[in-house]
Amino acid sequence: MMTPIKHHLTDALLMGYSAGSLPEAFNLIVATHISMCDDCRAALAEYDALGGEVMMSGDPAELAEDSLKAALALIADNAFRKEDAKQAPKPDTVFPTPLQNYVGGDLKDVKWRRIGGGVSQMMLSTSDKATVRLLRIPAGTAVPDHGHKGTELTLVLQGAFSDEEDRFNVGDVEVANEDLTHTPVAEPGQDCICLSATDAPLAFKGLIPRMAQKFIDI
């Protein structure tokens, strides 16, 4: 049985997802978490219903000439289907359906690339407004101390990690911004697999991680 989810999505993320205003990378984090979390799935349904009411009560507006082009671009930027977020992970799988659609399979199908300190990543293809990657952090390993120049969303898919803020288990999401500097450490026992999205580069404190940063795109 999975440990109950303690750390959830913020209202701003749920509203942005419902409105279609988030970058594709953030949408993937939200969709994957929602497929694992009954509470956030229920909250999203309320935002979707509220958005529908607002649209129905508004006055009709004339469409601009480029409305169709803009709509198609928005669809392309949110390539997954919201229905996928309603599907719980299948038995004997690590990745929920929204993430499987991006990876092309489950954990066994990930093409890892070593990025130093035993940590591996796989970049996922999304729009250029933010980046998203899978991270594999060996059990007991610490990620270099870093701050944030924007927002970082980290969703745990396997194992767990702890930092100066709290402990994050499977299904938990850590929302980090410019106010947080931390050193995440994967707990002993099982490698920690995370899905992480950022809309700005991380601010590493150490010289070596800063030098390597441009080569690993993080």
Q: Give 79's Cβ-side CA count (13 Å radius).
A: 12
Helices (H) and strands (E) in the chain, counts: 6, 11
Q: Give the tens place of pLDDT for each residue, 125-157.
A: 998 889 999 999 999 999 988 888 899 999 999
pLDDT for residue 147: 87
CB neighbour list of residue 134: distance below 8 Å, 6 or more residues apart: 103, 110, 121, 122, 124, 193, 194, 195, 196
pLDDT value of residue 21: 94
Residue type present at position 28: L
pLDDT at 60: 57
- Is residue 152 within 8 A of residue 202, CB to CB? The reply is yes
pTM of the model: 0.81
Whether residue 100 contacts residue 120, with contact meaning beta carbons closer than 8 Å, is answered with no
pLDDT for 67: 47
Per-residue model confidence (pLDDT) at position 53: 47
Q: In the chain, which stretches have pLDDT less than 50?
A: 52-56, 58, 67, 70-71, 77, 79
| CA proximity to 199, closest of 29, 9, 81, 14 | 29
Give the model's pLDDT for residue 92.
Answer: 78
The answer to whether residues 174 and 165 touch, using CB atoms and an 8 Å cutoff, is: yes
Q: Give pLDDT, residue 146.
A: 87
Q: Which domains occur in the chain, in start order?
A: 11-101 (1.10.10), 106-216 (2.60.120.10)
